[in-house]
Amino acid sequence: MHDQAVFSHLFPATILREYDIRGIVGETLHEADAYAIGRTFGSIVARKGGSRVAVGRDGRLSSPQLAAMLIEGLMASGMAVIDIGCGPTPMLYFAATVEATDGAVMVTGSHNPANYNGFKMMLGRKPFFGPQIQELGRLAAAGDVVAAVPGSVTAQDISEAYIKRLLQDWDGGDRALNVVWDSGNGAAGDVLTRLVKALPGKHTVLNAAIDGRFPAHHPDPTVPKNLEQLVAAVRQQGADIGIAFDGDADRIGIVDDTGEILFGDQFLILLARDVLENHPGATIIADVKASQVLFDQIAAAGGTPLMWKTGHSLIKSKMAETGSPLAGEMSGHIFFADRWYGFDDALYAAIRVMNAMINSGQSVSAFRKSLPPVLNTPELRFDCEESRKFSVVAEVAERLRADGATVSETDGVRVNTPDGWWLLRASNTQAVLVARAEAGSEAGLARLKATLASQLAASGLAPDFSGANAGH
Note if 110 is an active site residue. Answer: yes
pLDDT of residue 2: 52
Catalytic residue among 43, 51, 62, 110: 110
User: Looking at residue 226, what DSSP letter applies?
Assistant: G
Please provide the average confidence, as pLDDT, over all residues in the chain: 95
Across the beta sheet with 202-206, the strand order is: 202-206, 178-182, 241-245, 252-255, 261-262
Ramachandran angles phi, psi of 18, nearest 5°? -65, -45
Pick from 129, 67, 54, 47: nearest CA to 98: 54
Ramachandran angles phi, psi of 347, nearest 5°? -65, -45
pTM of the model: 0.95
CB atoms within 10 A of CB 470: 14
User: Looking at residue 336, what DSSP letter applies?
Assistant: E
Spatial contact of 248 and 270, defined as CB atoms under 8 Å apart: no
pLDDT of residue 467: 53
Alpha-carbon distance 99 to 54, whole Å? 9
pLDDT of residue 472: 55
Alpha-carbon distance 268 to 327, whole Å? 8
| DSSP E strand stretches across 162-226 | 178-182, 202-206
Chunked into runs of 10 residues, the chain (472 residues) has average pLDDT values of 72 93 97 98 98 98 98 98 98 97 97 95 95 98 97 98 98 95 98 98 98 96 96 98 98 98 96 98 97 98 97 91 97 97 97 97 98 92 92 97 95 97 92 95 96 95 66 53
Distances in whole angstroms, Cα of residue 177 to Cα of each of 122, 192, 238 = 36, 16, 11
Alpha-carbon distance 221 to 66, whole Å? 26
Alpha-carbon distance 255 to 53, whole Å? 37
166-177: b (≥16 Cβ within 10 Å) or e = beeebebeeeeb
Tens-place pLDDT, residues 183-202: 999 999 999 999 999 999 99
Q: Identity (one letter) of the amino acid at 206?
A: L
pLDDT of residue 378: 85
Alpha-carbon distance 61 to 331, whole Å? 25
